[in-house]
């Protein structure tokens, strides 16, 4: 338990004294800016060369595969390698791949199969980068600063992402898709330079060669560790639910706006803006709220709030007939839901780091990322099957009731308390 004096001294200003972690945040912000521009530019690029929206879905699905299947193995490899070097190398590879896409499009030779291959390469190296990034945090940030440090990274990333999304349209319209994609490539190279300047304290002795048999042995050890460390397994279960709970909102946003809320594109904008605003405020406020609430309370409130939100949306659509009042109600409920569910997701990240021993962190983080990512296609497939049988309104209502019951049960029966 932290002493009262140390608690008073802990804050965002204290995190800024952690110079190596600040370098990591800055590298993340550079990447996030590039990714936010690329998210729009890449969508336009895919449509420009295929004239078929189905290709976007195919490439999105391909992008998720390495996270689900490769990351547990990648986590085992990363555990006995220099994490900083892996982060640098993977960023360089991603930068080269994105540059090749831009060059091929500029030359008029870009084909859909090229996008699939480069997407697989990018997402495969990301499978190594993500656990390495998680494992390096405890090396450069003191444990007592985790709440403020992770919140600072999340809130700053959200701001930069909003800026990038706002600039993307102008950059594409004014300078073209190639320029937008090259900006994304440049951010990977810039991020690599910043990571190279971080002092992680990793020694040469930590760089051990791992053969195939040794790799699978490490994967098994990581899985065994997760199974025996009950609290770690609990957070992985929560991560799966946290990913799954967003699927109805993300996959049925257009039907939600039209069929349930009786509106169109404007309502989708209201939903997106309110959710982003709620998540941003939550990222900033998390350390102060976490200091006042138990882990069980954060889990119950954060998880069940999204269930209540889904049920409330169906009520808003049915009982609020005035269009202006409906917009206001949707904004308020979405903001609150975004705020509370971000308390949950941030708590999962912070508590997970605190609960896992350093030698198992990369493997455990890889297992959690893979498990969380697998929830998205599974729930998407389930919803696509269910929505053909029942109405969109009933899907949201059932999803809301399910979340309230499951999260409520887990918050009572599972342990989510960590040592300070």
Cβ atoms 79, 362 nearer than 8 A: yes
Same domain, 172 and 284: no
Q: Does residue 379 contact residue 246 with C-beta atoms inside 8 Å?
A: no
In a domain, 6, yes or no: no
208-223 mean pLDDT? 73
The values of phi and psi at residue 188, to 5°, are -65, -45
H/E stretch holding 292? none
Residues 314 and 200 in one domain: no
Average pLDDT score over residue span 206-219: 67
Residue 3 in domain: no
State whether 162 and 244 are in the same domain.
no
The arithmetic mean of pLDDT across residues 301-315, rounded, is 94
What local confidence, expressed as pLDDT, does residue 212 receive?
63
Decide if 136 contacts 83 (C-beta within 8 A).
Answer: yes
Q: What is the pLDDT, as a whole number, of residue 187? A: 95
Mean local confidence (pLDDT), 368-388: 85
Count of domains for the chain:
2
DSSP calls for 10-74: -SHHHHTT-HHHHHHHHHHHHHHHHHHHHHHHHHHHHHHHH--THHHHHHHHHHHHHHHHTHHHH
Question: Which pTM value belongs to this model?
Answer: 0.80
pLDDT at 151: 92
Q: Give residue 338's pLDDT.
A: 94
pLDDT digits (tens, 9 = 90+) for 352-365: 998 998 888 888 98
Q: Confirm whether 158 is domain-assigned.
A: yes
Residue found by looking up tokens 């995190």 in the block: 15
Q: Which of 339, 336, 335, 340 is nearest to 298 (CA)?
A: 340
Is the pLDDT at 58 greater than 80? The verdict is: no
**Does residue 367 lie within any of the structural domains?**
yes
Which residues does 386 contact at the CB level (< 8 Å), separation at least 6?
Answer: 395
For the segment 21-38, the average pLDDT, to the nearest whole number, is: 91
* Residue 404 per-residue DSSP state: H
Residue 403 has pLDDT above 80, yes or no: yes
Q: Is residue 186 part of a domain?
A: yes
Q: Is the pLDDT score of 176 beyond 50? A: yes
Q: Is residue 90 part of a domain?
A: yes
pLDDT for residue 61: 67
Residues 204 and 232 in one domain: no
Spatial distance between the Cα atoms of 240 and 234, rounded to a whole number of angstroms: 10
Q: Decide which of 181, 210, 239 is a domain's last residue.
A: 210
The pLDDT, as a whole number, for residue 174 is 86
Together in a domain, 225 and 118: no
Do 259 and 154 share a structural domain?
A: no
Pick the last residue of a domain from 189, 210, 231. Answer: 210
Q: Give the number of residues written for the chain.
A: 420
pLDDT average, residue stretch 26-53: 83
pLDDT of residue 1 exceeding 60: no
**Claim to verify: residue 96 and residue 149 sit in the same structural domain:** yes
Determine which of 38-47, 69-78, 101-110, 331-340 has the lowest per-residue pLDDT on average. 38-47
In the predicted model, what is the mean pLDDT of the chain?
87
Query: What is the structure's pLDDT at 9?
Result: 60
Q: Which domain holds residue 253?
A: 221-413
User: Using 50, 70 and 90 to split pLDDT, how confident is the model at 266?
Assistant: confident
Task: Specify whether the CB–CB gap between 164 and 24 falls below 8 A.
Answer: no
Task: Looking at the structure, tell me whether residues 269 and 129 fall in a common domain.
Answer: no
Residue 388: what pLDDT?
Answer: 81
In this prediction, residue 4 carries a pLDDT of 41
331/270 Cα distance (integer angstroms): 6
Residues 190 and 28: beta-carbon distance below 8 Å = no
pLDDT of residue 57: 59
Give 331-349 as a DSSP string. HHHHHHHHHHHHHHHHHHH
Domain end position, chosen among 180, 210, 240: 210
Which is nearest to 114 in space by CA: 102, 124, 127, 128? Answer: 102
In a shared domain, residues 201 and 226: no
List, for residues 324-341, the tens digit of each pLDDT value.
999 999 999 999 999 999
Q: Do residue 280 and residue 331 come from a single domain?
A: yes
Cβ-based burial of 292 (10 A; exposed 0-12, middle 13-18, buried ≥19): exposed
Look up the CATH number of the domain holding residue 396: 1.20.1250.20
Maximum alpha-carbon separation in the chain: 67
Which H or E element spans position 242?
helix 230-245
In a domain, 7, yes or no: no
Looking at the structure, tell me whether residues 290 and 339 fall in a common domain. Answer: yes
Closest C-alpha to 369, from 75, 91, 97: 75
Place of tokens 């599972």: 414
Same domain, 147 and 34: yes
Percent of the chain predicted with pLDDT > 70 = 93
Residue 133 within any structural domain of the chain = yes
Tokens found for residue 332: 């308020």
Which is more confident, 8 or 316?
316
The predicted structure's pLDDT at residue 251: 78
């Amino acid at each position: 338990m932290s002493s009262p004096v140390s608690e008073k001294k802990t804050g965002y200003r204290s995190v800024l004294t952690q110079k190596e972690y600040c370098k990591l945040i800055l590298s993340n912000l550079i990447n996030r800016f590039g990714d936010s521009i690329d998210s729009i530019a890449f969508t336009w690029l895919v449509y420009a060369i295929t004239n078929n929206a189905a290709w976007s879905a195919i490439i999105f699905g391909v992008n998720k595969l390495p996270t689900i299947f490769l990351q547990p193995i990648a986590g085992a490899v990363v555990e006995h390698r220099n994490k900083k070097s892996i982060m640098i190398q993977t960023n360089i590879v991603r930068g080269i791949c994105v540059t090749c896409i831009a060059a091929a499009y500029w030359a008029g030779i870009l084909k859909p199969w090229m996008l699939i291959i480069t997407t697989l390469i990018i997402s495969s190296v990301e499978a190594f980068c993500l656990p390495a990034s998680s494992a390096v945090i405890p090396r450069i940030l003191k444990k007592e600063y985790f709440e403020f440090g992770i919140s600072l990274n999340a809130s700053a990333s959200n701001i930069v992402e909003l800026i990038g999304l706002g600039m993307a349209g102008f950059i594409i319209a004014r300078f073209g898709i190639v320029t937008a994609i090259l900006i994304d490539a440049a951010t990977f190279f810039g991020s690599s330079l910043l990571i190279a300047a971080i002092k992680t304290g990793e020694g040469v002795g930590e760089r051990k060669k791992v053969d195939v048999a040794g790799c699978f042995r490490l994967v098994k050890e990581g899985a065994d560790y997760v199974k025996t460390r009950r609290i770690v397994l609990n957070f992985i279960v929560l991560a799966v639910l946290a990913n799954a709970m967003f699927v109805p909102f993300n996959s049925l946003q257009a039907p939600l706006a039209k069929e349930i809320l009786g509106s169109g594109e404007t309502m989708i904008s209201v939903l997106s803006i309110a959710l982003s605003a709620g998540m941003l405020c939550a990222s900033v406020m998390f350390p102060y709220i976490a200091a006042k609430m138990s882990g069980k309370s954060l889990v119950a409130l954060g998880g069940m709030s999204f269930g209540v939100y889904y049920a409330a949306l169906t009520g808003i659509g049915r009982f609020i007939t005035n269009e202006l009042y409906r917009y206001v109600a949707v904004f308020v409920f979405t903001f609150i839901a975004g705020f509370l569910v971000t308390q949950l997701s941030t708590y999962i990240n912070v508590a997970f780091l605190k609960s896992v021993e350093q030698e198992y962190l990369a493997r455990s983080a890889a297992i959690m990322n893979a498990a969380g990512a697998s929830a998205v296609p599974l729930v998407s497939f389930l919803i696509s099957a269910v929505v053909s049988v029942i109405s969109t309104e009933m899907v949201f209502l059932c999803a809301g009731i399910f979340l309230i019951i499951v999260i409520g049960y887990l918050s009572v029966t599972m342990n989510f308390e960590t040592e300070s």
